[in-house]
Structure 1
Amino acid sequence: MDLLPFNSYEEYIDNFITIKDVRYLRGLKIQRKLIKNACGKSCVGNLLSRKEFVSRRETALAMLQPPGLSASQLFGDYLNSNDQVLKQIARREKILMQKRMSTVIFLIMRSSRGLEISSFIDLEQSFREAHVHSSHPNYIDWRGIFEGKVKLMPRNHDLSHFDWHKNSTVFNNSDNFLIVTEGAHSLLLMHSGDHKKICVNAGCDCNYSRNATRSMYVSNIYGNVIFFDHIIRRMN
């Protein structure tokens, strides 16, 4: 399990709490105690102790800083254009890496064959994977993108990938979001930290659509790109 999304041991424990637990066990202290007792030896492998959690998370954080990249270095520092979409992505990078917000972008581009493809992309995960690209097969070259050497393209392992020519859709959970299909909604994203659902359906005014701020920016390179910014709410 990736421990980076959890800023505390309590958040790590809360990840094992199910909707059923919340419904029948009102008190968070009782829920956490139940998880520790029930999962200590048999739930999704051994539950980490507080000491093990801290140690493993520190190791994971260290891996985010490969040789030559300082703790304060951001990919957005390499932005060398006035492209509005890239400027907006760069503005969000630091706050995303601090886990205070999660952002999903909707991008439509043309493939090498000139056919339209689109994706919903989890920005925080893509930045994090780029930091450890030597060990991650699907990393995005964000430095190259900000320098204008590479284009950001939809990929079939993004949150949602649609090939308009083949009329085929692929859904994938990310570290920050789970894919949810519910009723009339063609696609809902549930944040794995605070369990808030986000509706990304165009023109929808349901309660879920209020869990993220929707904005659109125009780029000569990327056309119209939609941003869904979700402020992470901690479980109390």
Structure 2
Amino acid sequence: AAGRGVPVPPVPGPPRRGSAAERDAPRRPPSRRQHEPVLPLPPPPPPRPARPRPAGAGTRRGAAGAGGPQRPRAFLLLLLLFLLLLLGGGAEPLPAEPPGAAAGPAVLPGGHRLPSPAAPRRPGGRRPRREPAQSLASVGKELKNNFLQALAEREEANRTGKISSIIFIRDLNSHHQEVSAYIDYAHRLTTDDFEVYFSGKKRLLPRKTDLSFYNWDRNVSTSNSSPNYQVIAENACGLLFKNKSDRKIINVDPKAYPGDDTTRMPVETDLYLHVVIYDHIVRRGI
């Protein structure tokens, strides 16, 4: 048909913008959003009122600084109380003196002094040991023998525990047998009545219950520990005695050193064949 010269009608294309066809074309209805009114934004909430600051808020202890949270005062008080109890928990308060009490011993008319009161308990320690007052058996006795005088000089010190004496006696018993023994003088003072010895009614003789006893005729020996001494019989150095208070060793060998804080004193007497006294000064722990 084209070759024959028949004209072809033009194909309608899309209307041009601004053309009459575009203006005549039906328009789409406007969307709903375009017709909705634009609401204004809600106003911001009013600011919170500031809380009143405490009196010490400006200091490090009262306010929470940049370093961390505030420490409660109760915790600090408890910590301080715990430290005080830890440092001073073992101390005991000294007994309060009555009003008007004198610092030293009381002085009676005539220059006589009353004994001072008992020493107070030391903080964190024990009260000094003090034996009850006992009457001495040698008081008021007329002593003419050297041995009895030596015992009287040591009686009070052995009763109070300042020294601990060991008496060696060798003599004949009632069967005329030669016996010897090492006697714990402080222990014998608690078991025997020494008034009969100081008055001369009886003699202090060796016993099988002493620290060490030996019968020379029958060749019988015994050893017994006492409240003050422990017997060490099987030893290369010979017979030894160990003090139970300060653990010092007393050597009774006459040719050896008697030991620390110990003296050996022979006593000349006509009451016995042989007498030697070993005086040991007791060093108690503080």
Shift of 1:76: 1.1
Structure 2 residue 143 is the aligned partner of structure 1 residue 91: no
Partner of 1:16: none
Kindly indicate whether residue 185 of structure 2 is the aligned counterpart of residue 123 of structure 1: yes
Q: Report the Cα offset of residue 89 of structure 1.
A: 0.5
**TM-score where L is the length of structure 2:** 0.52
| Partner in structure 2 of residue 39 of structure 1 | none
Q: Say if 1:80 and 1:148, in contact at 8 Å, map to a contact too.
A: no
Aligned counterpart for 2:247 among listed residues 178, 181, 195: 195
For 1:77, the equivalent position in structure 2 comes to 139
Q: Does 1:175 align with 2:227?
A: yes
Distance in 2, matches of 1:166 and 1:178, equals 25
Cα offsets for 1:132-189 (capped at 9, x unmatched): xxxxxxxx33111100111111000000000011111100001100001354222110
Q: 1:154 aligns with which of 206, 221, 246?
A: 206
The structure showing larger relative contact order (alpha-carbon pairs under 8 Å, at least 6 residues apart) is 1
Q: 2:271 aligns with which of 197, 221, 224?
A: 221
Q: 1:182 to 1:176 in 2, by over 3 A?
A: same
TM-score by length of 1: 0.62
Report the 3-state secondary structure (helix = DSSP H, G, I; strand = E; otherwise coil) of the residue aligned with 2:233. Answer: strand
**Secondary structure class of the residue paired with 1:89:** helix
Structure 1 residue 226: Cα displacement: 0.3
- Stretches of structure 1 lacking an aligned partner (at least 5 in a row): 1-53, 63-70, 130-139
In structure 2, give the amino acid aligned to 1:120. Y
Question: CA separation in 2, counterparts of 1:111 and 1:185?
Answer: 29
Higher strand share: 1
Sequence identity of aligned pairs in percent? Answer: 30
How far does the alpha carbon of each residue in 1:100-127 deviate from its partner, in whole angstroms, 9 at most, with x for none? 1100010011111111111100011111
Partner Cα separation in structure 1 for residue 174 and residue 227 of structure 2: 29
Q: In the TM superposition, what is the alpha-carbon distance from 1:219 to its structure 2 partner?
A: 1.2
Q: Where in structure 2 are there 5+ consecutive unaligned residues?
A: 1-125
Q: Which structure would you say has the larger Rg?
A: 2
Deviant stretches of 4+, over 2 Å: 78-81, 208-211
Amino acid at match of 1:85: F
- Aligned residues of 1:122 and 1:158 also touching (Cα < 8 A): yes
1:230 lines up with 2:280 in the alignment:
yes
Change (3 A) 1:157 1:110: same
Letter in 2 for 1:162: Y
The amino acid that maps onto 1:123 is: Y
Equivalent pair of 1:79/1:87 in contact (CA under 8 Å): no
Seen in structure 2, the aligned counterparts of structure 1 residues 78 and 151 have a Cα distance that, compared at 3 Å, is farther
1:178–1:192 contact (8 Å) kept in structure 2: yes
Q: Could you tell me whether the CA contact under 8 Å between 2:170 and 2:178 is conserved in 1?
A: yes
SS of aligned partner of 1:75: coil
* Cα RMSD, aligned residues only: 2.1
SS at match of 1:141: coil
